Amino acid sequence: MPRKPKGACKDGLKIQYTTIKARLYPDEAQVELFEKTFGCCRYIWNHMLADQQRFYLETDKHFIPTPAKYKKEAPFLTEVDNQALIQEHNKLSQAFRVFFKSPEHFGYPNFKKKKTDRDSFTACNHVFESGPTIYITKDGIRMTKAGIVRAKFPRRPRNGWRLKRVTVEKTKTGKYFACILYEYTVKEPEAVIPAPESTIGLKYSMSHFYVADSGELADAPHWLRQSQEKLAKLQKHLNRMQPGSKNYQEAVQKYRLLHEHVANQRRDFIHKQSSRIANGWDAVCVRPDALDEMARRLPHGGPLDSGFGMFRECLRYKLAQRGKAMIVVDRYAPTTRTCFECGFVQDSEIPYKKKRWVCPKCGAVHDREVNAAKNIKAQGLAQYRNTQKRKAA
């Protein structure tokens, strides 16, 4: 699908996208159709890719045949929504486009396997005079071929949102979901100028989720930790079992269900935290800590597990929607070992285990993480002022 330039502006208006993820409850015939569609999408992807490769070898030219070409040799393709097949063509073209553009960041497109690749397909909405091809009802979503599929929506689209496309996917635990993409036009928010008292500095914390410059902590909720511990136990149990046995299969399913549950709990926590901060503060200063590096130093994962990267990403777009700034300070700024009171910089890093330290110069007693959060905020604000000055000059 041709992508509109991000946030294309006209008269201070811009286009935004949002996704509503609905749980689907397809009936038997719809399940069969979905399974068929997943299979056809894999089939068409793999055949187009194979033909592209052969054509490239023979002629040195890049070309991907359209799905229509395959319908004669594989008539079952006509049983599923043609839109889903066209989308596979678009996705493959896009995969090649990004690969050609920067092969070091995007791998060469792979063949899809039933075992490892996610079961999914995408269909675009087309609005005809007679109406749209895809729309939602009170408790369902209408799709081409499938008809109305029963669905449960976590929220409803607002007035003026335009349904662009739907991706149907099946999780490893056998649940069906629809990710419904909406497009809408909003007024470009006025830029909020951050004052120190309405700016917050956040430091990623291993023991707490984050620590703010005010000393406020955001611990991951108790229930999230509990299910995470349970998950680790199950994993251990699985490792000791004989793969292939019936018990093993059951344990795998149990593990997947719990894993899904933890992911949902975590996502919920992250959305609540990021909304709370984006609503309550005018600007947020953070440091782009190398989360993957930190995770490697920890016994049971760390930042990646806790979802701090996702939290930062959520926070960034929620702030942007409100015209607010996320100020990212220099990753190498010594925010932990600088004394916030007098500015003295310690020579060596303060160990993770050391919760408190005393400044050798001014004698201030610091909480390791709160002091770092204060420095992150001060540095962020200074950085912000400098960019404003540069812009004005």
- Which residue lies nearer to Zn ion by CB, 7 or 363? 363
Give the residues across from 10 on adjacent strands: 13
Q: Work out whether 127 is an interface residue with Zn ion (CB under 5 A).
A: no
Give me the count of residues in the chain.
393
Q: What is the nearest approach in angstroms of Zn ion to the Cβ of residue 363? A: 7
- Which residue lies nearer to Zn ion by CB, 211 or 359? 359
Residues in 300-359 at the binding interface with Zn ion, rule: CB under 5 A = 339, 341-342, 344, 359
- Which residue lies nearer to Zn ion by CB, 325 or 359? 359
- Which residue lies nearer to Zn ion by CB, 29 or 362? 362
Q: Work out whether 365 is an interface residue with Zn ion (CB under 5 A).
A: no
Q: What is the nearest approach in angstroms of Zn ion to the Cβ of residue 307? A: 34
Residues in 199-238 at the binding interface with Zn ion, rule: CB under 5 A = none
Burial 59-92 (b: 16+ CB within 10 A, else e): eeeeebeebeebeeeeeebeebbbbbbbbbbebb
Give the residues across from 19 on adjacent strands: 181
Three-state DSSP class for residue 172: coil
Q: What is the nearest approach in angstroms of Zn ion to the Cβ of residue 345? A: 10
Question: How many Å apart are CA 206 and CA 294, to the nearest integer?
Answer: 9
- Which residue lies nearer to Zn ion by CB, 215 or 301? 215
Q: What is the nearest approach in angstroms of Zn ion to the Cβ of residue 375? A: 12
Question: How many Å apart are CA 279 and CA 277, to the nearest integer?
Answer: 5
Question: How many Å apart are CA 380 and CA 203, to the nearest integer?
Answer: 12
Amino acid at 175: K
Amino acid at 358: V
Q: Work out whether 263 is an interface residue with Zn ion (CB under 5 A).
A: no
Question: How many Å apart are CA 145 and CA 253, to the nearest integer?
Answer: 31
128: left (phi over 0), alpha (psi -120 to 50) or beta: beta
- Which residue lies nearer to Zn ion by CB, 298 or 362? 362
Least Cα distance to 340 among 365, 311, 315 occurs for 365
Residues in 63-102 at the binding interface with Zn ion, rule: CB under 5 A = none
- Which residue lies nearer to Zn ion by CB, 153 or 344? 344
- Which residue lies nearer to Zn ion by CB, 87 or 379? 379
Q: What is the nearest approach in angstroms of Zn ion to the Cβ of residue 374? A: 12
Binding segment for Zn ion (CB under 5 A), chosen from 13-21, 81-89, 361-369, 384-392, is 361-369
Q: What is the nearest approach in angstroms of Zn ion to the Cβ of residue 365? A: 10
Least Cα distance to 195 among 322, 281, 321, 312 occurs for 281
Q: What is the nearest approach in angstroms of Zn ion to the Cβ of residue 346? A: 10
Any alpha helices (H) in 281-367, and if so which ranges?
291-297, 303-306, 308-321
Q: What is the nearest approach in angstroms of Zn ion to the Cβ of residue 342? A: 3
Binding site for Zn ion (CB under 5 A): 339, 341-342, 344, 359, 361-362, 364
